[in-house]
Amino acid sequence: MALPELTLIRAVNPTLPPLFARLPDTLFKPLASLNHERYWSILARLHRNRFGPDAPLPPSDGFPIRDIISDIERELDDSDAWEVEDGCAPAANLNAHANMIFNRLVDTEWLRRGRHGAEKVVTMSPAISHFLNLLMQFAESGPIYVSGKINSIFGLITMVESEEASGDTLIEAAQQARNLLEHIRNTSTIIRDLMESLSKEPTPSKYLSKFFSDYIERVFIGDYRELRTREHPLSKRQQILRTVEGIDESQSERARLIQWYEQKQFPGDIARAERQYERDLHRLRELARIDEYLDRLDDEIRRANRRALAYLDYSVRTVRPIGQLINAAIASINSGTLLLMSDPFAAGGMINGMNLAMPRKLTKRLPPSKLRKALPAPEDIARAHLMQRARDARAMTPPKLTAFLLRQLDEKYQVGSAELEINAVPDGRAYQTLATVSVAMGTQSPALQKDVRSMVPGFHVIPQSVSEEAHAFISGKSFLVSRKNINKEIES
């Protein structure tokens, strides 16, 4: 019945990840039974001794069944008594019980039984082994170190920027950034849940034991104390964000990475390749929010510390056997011997009025003064508009520069600096920008050339002279501007 239900779900939601296409639907039965903790301990032992990455190299044909049964028997020796499941009690004989568990693991497809010659062997499929590895990593996950994650992301992004790596490295950097933010965000929830569970402990001794073992020893961020220091690699986050923006603004880099996505992940679908590229860049840009997550984590940690200190302070104050003293006083009153015993409360203690909390004093705040509305004079408004127009005329952007070159080239393929016509301030700024681009293109710095190339998309700016030449408006080194046309370049 599981297969038709799964087919129906896929028909309703075709974007559902195909979990049970990779894992058998019976795989979770042992971990959902009454003996789930005992089944998990057996799987953990098999992972550690036989099928995990730290286990010795397994035989190519599989382990003999007797070795797996022996491992299960050793785990049964160390485990508690098993619960009765489905009306079946565990076998009294250790070997018979181990065989029952082995058959259950085979039936639920955790293990795969086979034959090598005359001997029966046991293997674990690659998908099941990978899934068990993920479960073990989740169960044994310890503190992360933000410094290592940031250094790794910074190194990967630097490799992409220098064209030493391609889209695969960008995907890895984006995934690490997403995992880092998710861990920091989840840590706040984990601390809140932990403090809720601590509040249910009946005695201060158990509260202290769990607080120091679960909250202090199992630190969720290993370098939490050093996060706010200048020497911590977290200070590189702005450099990472600038590098990401530089990659996205460079037309050549953007085209190179999108082409990799199209060739490797989405052949023939440029739209999906662009969406995947934008999604990975968005994950990296989310590092800008890491301070917001850390501030929230600081608040949760301060709240947890205050809560723990308040509980411990209350526990220390209530160590005195007040209940026993009150019961003894009541018994003395009933027996008429009250004068023969001392007061159960110390003098000047709990019933002293000086120990009561002082009432809060409400401080009356003066109402805020009304804001005065200052209206600028028409002359000031006109001057501001004039200054804004001057700034806009002097500002030079790639679209403005492209329009200037198209107007100067007209139908021509190339034009020299001496032929460029300057009739207004924007034309002069365009000429000045082209002169700057030509000087940068004449250097031996690839990084500088890549930065200025984005100002003239679709054109080549080639320096022509070494010495400075006179000009009607701006003197400088002459240059040549040509269109990016492959056929023309080949003919020339």
What is the tens place of the pLDDT at every residue in 419-451?
A: 888 888 888 888 888 888 888 888 888 888 888
Q: Higher model confidence: residue 423 or residue 184?
A: 423
Q: Cα–Cα distance between 318 and 297 in angstroms, integer?
A: 32
- Tell me what pLDDT residue 492 has: 44
- Tell me what pLDDT residue 270 has: 87
- Tell me what pLDDT residue 149 has: 82
Q: Which residues pair with 470 in a beta bridge?
A: none
What is the percent of the chain with per-residue pLDDT over 90, rounded to a whole number? Answer: 0
The residue type of 262 is E
HEC readout, the chain: CHHHHHHHHHHHCCCCCCHHHHCCCCCCCHHHCCCHHHHHHHHHHHHHHHHCCCCCCCCCCCEEHHHHHHHHHHHHHHCCCCCCECCECCCCCHHHHHHHHHHHHHHCCCCEEEEECCEEEEECCHHHHHHHHHHHHHHCCCCECHHHHHHHHHHHHHHHHCCCCCHHHHHHHHHHHHHHHHHHHHHHHHHHHHHHHHCCCCCHHHHHHHHHHHHHHCCCECCHHHCCCCCCHHHHHHHHHHHHHHHHHCHHHHHHHHHHHHHHCCCCCHHHHHHHHHHHHHHHHHHHHHHHHHHHHHHHHHHHHHHHHHHHHHHHHCCCCHHHHHHHHHHHHHHCCHHHCCCCCCCCCCCCHHHCCCCCCCCCCCCCCCCCCCCCCHHHHHHHHHHHHHHHHHCCCHHHHHHHHHHHHCCCCEEEHHHCCCCCHHHHHHHHHHHHHHHHHCCCCHHHHHHHHCCCCCEEEEECCCCCECCCCCCECCEEEEECCHHHHHHC
- Tell me what pLDDT residue 222 has: 60
Span 266-272, average pLDDT: 87
Of 90-94, 98-102, 277-281, the one with minimum mean pLDDT is: 90-94
Asked if the model's pLDDT at residue 1 lies above 60, the reply is no
Of 71-80, 139-148, 378-387, 416-425, the one with minimum mean pLDDT is: 139-148
| Mean pLDDT of the residues in the chain | 78
- Tell me what pLDDT residue 10 has: 42
Q: Cα–Cα distance between 39 and 32 in angstroms, integer?
A: 10
- Tell me what pLDDT residue 486 has: 43
Q: Cα–Cα distance between 259 and 55 in angstroms, integer?
A: 41
Span 460-467, average pLDDT: 85
Asked if the model's pLDDT at residue 5 lies above 50, the reply is no
Q: Higher model confidence: residue 312 or residue 295?
A: 295
Asked if the model's pLDDT at residue 491 lies above 50, the reply is no
- Tell me what pLDDT residue 430 has: 87
- Tell me what pLDDT residue 13 has: 52
Q: Is the dihedral of CA 412, 413, 417, 423 positive or negative?
A: positive
Asked if the model's pLDDT at residue 67 lies above 60, the reply is yes
Q: Higher model confidence: residue 349 or residue 113?
A: 113
Span 251-259, average pLDDT: 87
- Tell me what pLDDT residue 136 has: 83
Q: Cα–Cα distance between 1 and 200 in angstroms, integer?
A: 42
Asked if the model's pLDDT at residue 348 lies above 70, the reply is no
Q: Higher model confidence: residue 244 or residue 344?
A: 244
Q: How many CA atoms lie within 13 A of 21 on its CB side?
A: 7
- Tell me what pLDDT residue 148 has: 79
pLDDT in tens, 290-305: 888 778 877 877 887 7
Span 42-51, average pLDDT: 87
- Tell me what pLDDT residue 393 has: 79
Asked if the model's pLDDT at residue 354 lies above 70, the reply is no
Span 175-179, average pLDDT: 86
Nearest to 158 by CA among 103, 236, 221, 106: 236
CB 167 within 8 A of CB 260: yes
Asked if the model's pLDDT at residue 226 lies above 70, the reply is no
- Tell me what pLDDT residue 466 has: 79
Span 233-255, average pLDDT: 84
pLDDT in tens, 464-489: 887 888 887 888 888 889 888 644 44
Confidence bin at 345 (pLDDT 50/70/90): low
Buried b (16+ CB within 10 A) or exposed e, 345-355: eeeeeeeeeee
Asked if the model's pLDDT at residue 44 lies above 60, the reply is yes
Query: Distances in Å between the alpha carbon of 325 and those of 15, 273, 329, 338, 341?
Result: 68, 77, 6, 12, 11
Confidence bin at 37 (pLDDT 50/70/90): confident
Span 125-131, average pLDDT: 87
- Tell me what pLDDT residue 372 has: 64
- Tell me what pLDDT residue 201 has: 67
Span 7-35, average pLDDT: 71
Give the sheet arrangement for strand 459-463, strand by strand.
Answer: 414-416, 479-483, 459-463
Confidence bin at 2 (pLDDT 50/70/90): very low
Asked if the model's pLDDT at residue 69 lies above 70, the reply is yes
